[in-house]
Amino acid sequence: MTALTLSTAGAATLRADALVVGVAKGAKGPVVAPGAEPVDAAFDGKLAAVLDALGASGADGEVTKLAAPAGLKVPVVIAVGLGDAPEDGASYDEELLRKAAGSAARALHGAKKAGFALPVEDASAVTAIAEGALLGAYAFTAYQGGEKKDGKNGKQPLAEVALLGAKPRDKEQKAAAERAKIVAAEVNIARDLVNTPPNDLNPEAFAAVAQATAKELGIKVQVLDDKALLKGGYGGIMGVGRGSEAPPRLVKLAYTHPKAEKHLAFVGKGITYDSGGISLKPAGHNETMKCDMAGAAAVFSAVVAAARLGLEVNVTGWLALAENMPSGSATRPGDVLRMYSGKTVEVLNTDAEGRLVLADALTKASEENPDAIVDVATLTGAMVFALGNRTFGVMANDDAFRTSLHEIAEEVGEASWPMPLPADMRKGMDSPTADIANMGERMGGGLVAGLFLKEFVGEGITWAHLDIAGPAFHEGAPYGYTPKGGTGSAVRTLVRLAERTASGDLG
């Protein structure tokens, strides 16, 4: 994990491998951002002109490396774009700061220490820059040979971030940095889980990770194995997992605080590998299906973050873990499953399995009558078609809660969009054989899946569903603080929801 310090050193005196400064887009060319004044002075006040000559504009995501001039204690200066320069008196956008810090950290893989002299006006800016740098410094190298981990080849992440311009003795800024460390660490753990190959992370292995972490932090943990699930009547989880030699698990993680007045339940889809089952996915659609447990990873990390932050709210996480495989014992299209709720479901497509494991977990979570339930899942390709690869959908049985979650996601820098649950689409899931089918209308499939889940939420309980199928796993080139592979989508949203709830604002 990359170390983070609030440094008292000045930009001109810091000894490090590189110094990161901000540059914005001005009306007549690049503009040097606050925090970079000593660096500009070392360039005789011509840093903006030098960057302009090199073709830099200050655009969002732009990274320009310069040899440091005399007067600085670093060999390299990295100028990162902050987008359009804010109007007089306005602050730099926090998400742009976060992305700029992430871009710089990615460019510094292999370095031991770098100073970040970006605009720091308050604790919120400290949070944004610290999170961006720590998330951008992420690298998944667990399965790469020792020679490939050599920092000279850029595989090892930046070892230390020295954040300049902050006030180390300021309580708010110090707390912001500590929070950023915890949140970024848990996002990166979620990324590790998503990136781990399915031969090493099956339901039993995931449950073991949860148990070990819970023991360290004093979080109560309960694991239901396949025998307990069968005895308990968890037909959805067992129906999905029975085709695999790696049996399913349902994991409960309970963080409690003695002063808590509210209780949140987070439910995560944890399909550790999704072949589609008997409704087998075609080639080109199954290579990245180790990521189908990203919802459970997000829930796990959010509960751990709440515990590490000591939030005054009770948070229970439910990880519905299974592997969806075809075999002689696998669920067939046309089979009927009796769910934990007692409802029966006709399985028309075994590749619509996530909603089946979530249904059982939602029913179980509802038994504790929490103040709100939020489920997180890489649930439908339809949501990706609707919103693209970088935005998750938010559905809920309460419009105000849906709006609140959307605002929270935007606040922490996670792109989201509120989606409806049209009542008229429920009829498409009517089954002549069972209480409900696991498929409905083809158009608007992401909404159909949300309507299915709603059927299994306890009466009177506020509930929301986050479909993170698009942003959970990034297959393109890294950008900002987003790496290739697992992204840790929804962790920051869940943590912020828990923080708001602890402060009395559930939404």
The catalytic residue positions are 281, 355
CA angle 483, 491, 269 (to 5 degrees): 100
- For residue 396, give the amino acid letter: A
- What is the rounded distance in angstroms from the CA atom of residue 311 to the CA atom of residue 303? 10
| Radius of gyration for the chain, computed over Cα atoms and rounded to the nearest angstrom | 24
- What is the rounded distance in angstroms from the CA atom of residue 144 to the CA atom of residue 141? 5
Inter-residue contact 403 to 295 (CB < 8 Å): no
- The two structure tokens encoding residue 100: 């700029």
Closest Cα to residue 383, out of 278, 295, 312? 295
CB atoms near residue 342 (< 10 Å): 10
CB atoms near residue 367 (< 10 Å): 10
Q: CB under 8 Å to 362, separation ≥6 — which residues?
A: 267, 373, 375, 453, 456, 457, 463
- For residue 350, give the amino acid letter: T
CA angle 329, 330, 334 (to 5 degrees): 120
Q: What is the maximal distance between C-alpha atoms in the chain?
A: 80
Inter-residue contact 336 to 345 (CB < 8 Å): yes
- For residue 51, give the amino acid letter: L
- What is the rounded distance in angstroms from the CA atom of residue 151 to the CA atom of residue 148? 8
- What is the rounded distance in angstroms from the CA atom of residue 84 to the CA atom of residue 36? 17
- The two structure tokens encoding residue 288: 């990245």
